[in-house]
């Protein structure tokens, strides 16, 4: 495939193109997985990002669109279904993971569900995300719920373990029942422009995932420039990533709206080039309902409503659900409940 825009992708100003012409979502609709494509270095190297223009555009996202009252409550219920409820702490135990999974299955108190009239909606989180070693515990706890287990693999968070070790970890997570694998790329490949090595690495992980969907964590806070973020996003998608994800949550800078704008524009570009939709997962530092709504505005404006469904969008978060519950409680009762009434686990 040759580069369609050899002069560089237009991220310098507001992109006048509409969101991709994706069919409207209907119950049960699905897309085929992204199969990837051969590495096209012309297309990768054509990516150029103007940081000032991206930051100006990102600054408008919270102000151009707002939702209030019952519409905000509906958007927040949607946001719950998009959360990969996550525990990635050094003191994780099987007990913590079981409680996390119970929360993923029943994210709202029964009383609050009744007050919102949401009892029949079957609201659950999008996935439970845990360390590789705790995948069997999570799989057992979620059995029969339909909620997938996502495992962070490949030497999370640094991704610097020997390659055979990382590949084995992916295969073991899949064998243990993980249906989604969050892999970590080698950031050094991006920083040195070793795009062939990055492509081969991600392709190898994709092959090891088999039928499990793969989210490629780029570690965007470590990539130095937005141009690197854009190029790494494109290479990961060419290598077959089902999702591209910002961060491990352990970097100094994690998900931000400017970084997200670049990544979703790359998703748009890849979709227009290949016809294959790729999902997006911002992760790290998303803790408030207000911030979650800003990311939903971004997806609505840049990619359209179809990218606001769990198969194409997830939040990687641990504390976000608590604030969404508090906002929904305020909508239902006119006051904020104490934090202990929305325990995470």
Residues with a known catalytic role: 182, 245, 281
Cis amide linkage into residue 157, ω under 30° from 0: yes
What is the per-residue burial (b if ≥16 Cβ within 10 Å, else e) of 248-272?
A: bbebeebbbbbbbbbbbbbbbbbbe
Estimate to the nearest angstrom the gap between the alpha carbon of 68 and the chain centroid: 25
For 114-174, list the strands marked E by DSSP. 127-131, 149-152
Burial class (CB in 10 A: 0-12, 13-18, 19+), 329: buried
Residue 213 gets the label, from left (phi > 0), alpha (psi -120 to 50) or beta, of beta
Q: At 249, is the secondary structure helix, strand, or coil?
A: coil
Helix axes 51-64, 289-302, angle to 10 degrees: 110
Rounded Cα–Cα distance for residues 102 and 105 (Å): 5
Rounded Cα–Cα distance for residues 283 and 286 (Å): 7
DSSP per residue over 266-290, as a string? Answer: HHHHHHHHHS---EEE-BSS--SHH
Burial class (CB in 10 A: 0-12, 13-18, 19+), 170: buried
């Amino acid at each position: 495939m040759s580069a369609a825009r050899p002069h560089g992708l237009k991220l310098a100003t507001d992109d006048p193109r509409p969101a991709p012409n994706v069919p409207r979502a209907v119950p049960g609709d699905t897309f085929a997985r992204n199969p990837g494509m051969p590495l096209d270095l012309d297309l990768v190297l054509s990516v150029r990002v103007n940081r000032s223009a991206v930051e100006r555009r990102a600054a408008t996202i919270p102000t151009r669109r707002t939702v209030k009252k019952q519409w905000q409550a509906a958007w927040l219920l949607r946001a719950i279904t998009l959360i990969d409820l996550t525990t990635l702490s050094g003191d994780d135990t099987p007990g913590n993971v079981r409680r996390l999974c119970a929360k993923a299955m029943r994210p709202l108190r029964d009383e609050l569900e009744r007050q919102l009239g949401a009892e029949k909606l079957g609201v659950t989180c999008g996935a439970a995300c845990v360390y590789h070693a705790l995948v069997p515990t999570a799989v057992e706890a979620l059995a029969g719920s339909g909620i997938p287990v996502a495992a962070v693999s490949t030497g999370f968070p640094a991704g610097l373990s020997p390659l055979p070790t990382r590949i084995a970890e992916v295969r073991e997570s899949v064998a243990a029942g993980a249906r989604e694998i969050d892999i970590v790329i080698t950031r050094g490949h991006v920083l040195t422009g070793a795009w062939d090595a990055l492509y081969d690495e991600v392709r190898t992980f994709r092959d090891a995932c088999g039928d499990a969907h793969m989210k490629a964590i780029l570690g965007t806070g470590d990539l130095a420039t937005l141009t690197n973020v854009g190029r790494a996003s494109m290479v990961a998608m060419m290598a077959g990533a089902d999702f591209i994800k910002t961060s491990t949550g352990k970097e100094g800078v994690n998900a931000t709206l400017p970084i997200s704008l670049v990544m979703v524009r790359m998703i748009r570009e890849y979709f227009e080039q290949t016809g294959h939709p790729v999902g997006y997962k911002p992760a790290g530092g998303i803790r408030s309902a207000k911030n979650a709504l800003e990311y939903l505005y971004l997806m609505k404006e840049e990619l359209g409503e179809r990218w606001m469904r769990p198969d194409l969008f997830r939040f990687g978060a641990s504390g976000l659900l608590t604030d969404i519950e508090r906002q929904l409680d305020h909508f239902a009762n006119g006051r904020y409940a104490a934090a202990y009434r929305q325990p995470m686990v």
